Amino acid sequence: MERTLFEPEHELFRESFRKFLDTHVAPNHDQWAEQGIVDRSAWIEAGKQGFLGMAVPEQYGGGGVKDFRYNAIITEECVRGQYSGLGFSLHNDVIAPYLLELANEEQKQRWLPKFCSGELITAIAMTEPGTGSDLQGIKTRAVRDGDEWVLNGAKTFITNGINADIVIVVAQTD
């Protein structure tokens, strides 16, 4: 079936990402699965090749392109190759909008360049034992203590969690 969603530039991007997967992921995937961790070098290489932070403005090291079709290609190609453990989609699709919309300027300057280069890996901690991803049922609490927040609770199934440098934690507050 012919698809009309993608333009020629998207297909060039697909070819580049597929080559990246063939070169940097396929030879290592079984070992990473056995070890339970994707080597950080894959993230650095993905950043070098422009596969991380495509929607992040250029001033922070991103591609400056707000076109979700590029993100869809990354997901499609990871599924096509049956490459588990690569949390690029979570990094690009879920965390990037939080950082772009909610981080202050100092945080953006500190985090986004490394987010795009692959030097900084992100995760989100939502899922809890006994509640799964039902966010209305979460038990984790965040309580203000002076200038800081104190977290109490448990999280499971944190994509990229083993490698993460920044984790967004879903918690109840007052």
pLDDT-above-70 percentage for the chain: 99
The amino acid that residue 33 corresponds to is A
Q: What pLDDT, on a 0 to 100 scale, did the predictor assign at position 1?
A: 62
| pLDDT single digits (tens) 25-71 | 999 999 999 999 999 999 999 999 999 999 999 999 999 999 999 99
* pLDDT greater at residue 132 or residue 31: 31
> What CA–CA distance (Å, rounded) separates 80 from 100?
29
Interacting residues of 99 by C-beta distance below 8 A, sequence separation 6+:
107, 108, 111, 112, 115, 122
Question: What pTM was computed for the model?
Answer: 0.92
Interacting residues of 73 by C-beta distance below 8 A, sequence separation 6+:
6, 10, 13, 14, 17
* Tokens encoding 159: 């994509």
The CA distances from residue 134 to 83, 127, 130, in Å, are: 27, 8, 9
47 sits in the region (left: phi over 0; alpha: psi -120 to 50; else beta) called alpha
Mean pLDDT of the chain: 95
| pLDDT single digits (tens) 1-22 | 677 899 999 999 999 999 999 9
* CA-based torsion, 20, 114, 159, 102: positive or negative: negative
